[in-house]
Amino acid sequence: MLKPAALVGQVILYGAFAAFIGTFASSPKYQQIPDDVALIKLSISHLGGRECRKRTPEELAKMPPNMRAPMDCPRERSDIRLEVDLDGQPVFRAVMHPTGLYKDGVSTVYKRFEVKAGSHQLAVRMDDDLMKPGFDYIKDEKITLAPGQVMVIDFNPDRGGLFFK
């Protein structure tokens, strides 16, 4: 059985703790980005290409019948080159390497850019097979960002490649 003094002490301490938590739950106000700024997030995970070659009839004849695949594709994937330009100025350049013990996994990048809200020209170029010259995917678009807006640059080959959402 608690004594009245112990009970009053507990009420005071619990009340002070609740007031402390309540004060810091609502102030100071946390602001992730300034009022006049928008956020662009680049988040891409993609498998690079593989350099396959067609086997010659002589090579196929030397192989056991159950191993005669017409194409010879190594396990290793290509690096992926990615470039992002904002208003004609380069803001990101990278070569993403495949993950995995045998370099056969996805290449991944995550980057965030704080930009002034308003209209911008955004260009993203991606090459997923460095053995071929040029970029395989290009997206160049005029975008308008509201203050506090978050726009994501993503990649999905089923949706045509690079897209902004």
Model confidence pLDDT, tens digit, residues 39-97: 999 999 999 998 889 999 999 999 999 999 999 988 999 999 999 999 999 999 999 99
Extract the tokens encoding 114.
């704080």
Tell whether the torsion through CA atoms of 99, 100, 106 and 108 is positive or negative. Answer: negative
pLDDT tier at 33, thresholds 50, 70, 90: confident
Tens-digit pLDDT profile for residues 16-32: 999 999 888 887 777 78
C-alpha dihedral over 164, 155, 123, 160, to 10 degrees? Answer: -90
pLDDT score of 76: 93
pLDDT tier at 1, thresholds 50, 70, 90: low
Phi, psi at residue 68, to the nearest 5°?
-85, 65
pLDDT tier at 34, thresholds 50, 70, 90: confident
At residue 90's C-alpha, the angle toward residues 109 and 145, to 5°, is: 80
* Amino acid in the structure at residue 56: T
Of the two residues 92 and 2, the one the predictor is more confident about is 92
* Amino acid in the structure at residue 106: V
Sheet harboring 137-145: ordered strands across?
A: 89-96, 80-86, 118-127, 137-145
Extract the tokens encoding 37.
């700024």
Q: What is the mean pLDDT of residues 126-151?
A: 93
Distance in angstroms (rounded) separating the CA atoms of residues 78 and 64 = 29
Average pLDDT, the chain: 93
Closest CA to 128 of 41, 44, 42: 44
At residue 18's C-alpha, the angle toward residues 12 and 24, to 5°, is: 135
Extract the tokens encoding 110.
């995550």
pTM to 2 decimal places: 0.77
